[in-house]
Structure 1
Amino acid sequence: MANLLILRGPSGAGKTTTALALRTHWGRGTALIQQDVVRRQILREHDVPGGVNIGLIDVMCRHALGAGFDVILEGIFHADRYGAMLRRLIADHHGPTLACFFDVPFPETVRRHTTRPLAAEFTPDDMLSWYVPDDRLRVPGEVVLGDDLTLEDTVERITAAFPRSD
């Protein structure tokens, strides 16, 4: 049975870095679906309520899971815009599922952002306009990951808590 891992949180929290490390660790058979890739690159869509990306992300996840791929879904995914879709996806998926929220304070997200290759693409003011503190989905078993964890700690915690078929 395919596994579903959802990584959510503010910009600069470490979601993409974690997702890439997990995909490398888990190898083939793992689909990485990134909100920014779907919304910004495939659709060139702003993040708006009811955006086309929400449905496309849902379809992509369901298709990959149905084909037997484990899915890592990562993005900011504000609960007010994406929560209904994510909760339905979680409820409909009969395999192991883990939802993680990166609870990283705004100043730390800005500090981390300055170290990224895309640091010039948007400003701390942009990040502040996207920042929603404690934006958890509040689904059973949701894991909250704090800024005190290193990348290695985060990957270890997820791999230990997340049953994955080989």
Structure 2
Amino acid sequence: MPSLGDPTSRLVVLRGNSGSGKSTTAKELRQRIGRGVAWVEQDYLRRILLREHDRPSAPNIGLIDRTTRYALAHGYHVVLEGIFYNPTYGTMLRELIADHAGVTGVYYFQLPFGETVRRHATRPLADVVAVERMRGWYQPCDLLGVPGEQVIDETSTLDQSVDRIVKDLDWTTGGAIAHGIDD
């Protein structure tokens, strides 16, 4: 694959169990950075757009890959967020990371099951997804094993997590100015 993005582009990969804070972090990160940041959300592409089950070789894996590549190729920074189980998504994610020409940050949200349940109870999805179903999905540690991968645990607040990512990627706000995109 050819080089993806350019030396100034940013790719942030946020992974972890359901209810671990990935989406909240992605939303806050995008809010702080501003326009020019594409939020590629696994749940939206898989569950909403395609209404696909999470399984190896499902079409959503290619769609996530192509959406991320498209955004990077067109000058956007990307926050890629989802559970992204290593056995199902690992190859695709490692290829994206290897192909990216810019700065990449990979973060795994590692929280105890009880904490993910507590957080899940505060979300609208709690009425749809039972705790026992979450237990079946829960992986205690599902790292990709890529260089620089970092763990965010339950002691990190939202602000601390976002500050860490912004600092790690040497990312200043106002990224959209280069894109000329109005609010």
Report the TM-score, using the length of structure 1 for normalisation: 0.97
Identity fraction in percent: 51
Q: Determine the structure 1 residue equivalent to 2:47.
A: 40
Please list every run of 5 or more consecutive structure 1 residues that lacks an aligned counterpart in the other structure: none
Alignment-mate amino acid for residue 106 of structure 2: A
1:73 counterpart SS class:
strand
Q: Over alpha carbons, which structure has the higher Rg?
A: 2
1:134 aligns with 2:141: yes
Deviation per CA, 1:46-95: give whole Å up to 9, x if none.
10111100000000000000001000000000000000000000001111
Rounded Cα–Cα distance in structure 2 between residues aligned with 1:146 and 1:31: 25
Alignment-mate amino acid for residue 23 of structure 2: T
Q: Determine the structure 1 residue equivalent to 2:80.
A: 73
Question: Between Structure 1 and Structure 2, how many residues are aligned?
Answer: 166
Please list every run of 5 or more consecutive structure 2 residues that lacks an aligned counterpart in the other structure: 1-7, 176-183
Greater mean alpha carbon deviation, residues 149-158 or residues 35-44: 149-158
Displacement of 1:17? 0.3
Displacement of 1:117? 2.0
Rounded Cα–Cα distance in structure 2 between residues aligned with 1:34 and 1:68: 18
1:119 counterpart SS class:
helix
1:143 aligns with 2:150: yes
Displacement of 1:164? 2.6
**Residue 159 of structure 1, aligned match among 154, 161, 166:** 166
1:118 counterpart SS class:
helix
1:91 aligns with 2:104: no
Rounded Cα–Cα distance in structure 2 between residues aligned with 1:63 and 1:125: 37
**Residue 52 of structure 1, aligned match among 43, 46, 59:** 59
Rounded Cα–Cα distance in structure 1 between residues aligned with 2:70 and 2:13: 16
Rounded Cα–Cα distance in structure 2 between residues aligned with 1:39 and 1:163: 31
Moved over 4 A (4+): none
Q: Determine the structure 1 residue equivalent to 2:13.
A: 6
Greater mean alpha carbon deviation, residues 114-123 or residues 156-165: 156-165
Q: Determine the structure 1 residue equivalent to 2:180.
A: none
Q: Determine the structure 1 residue equivalent to 2:129.
A: 122
Displacement of 1:97? 0.4
How much is the aligned-residue C-alpha RMSD, in angstroms? 0.9
Report the TM-score, using the length of structure 2 for normalisation: 0.89
Q: Determine the structure 2 residue equivalent to 1:21.
A: 28
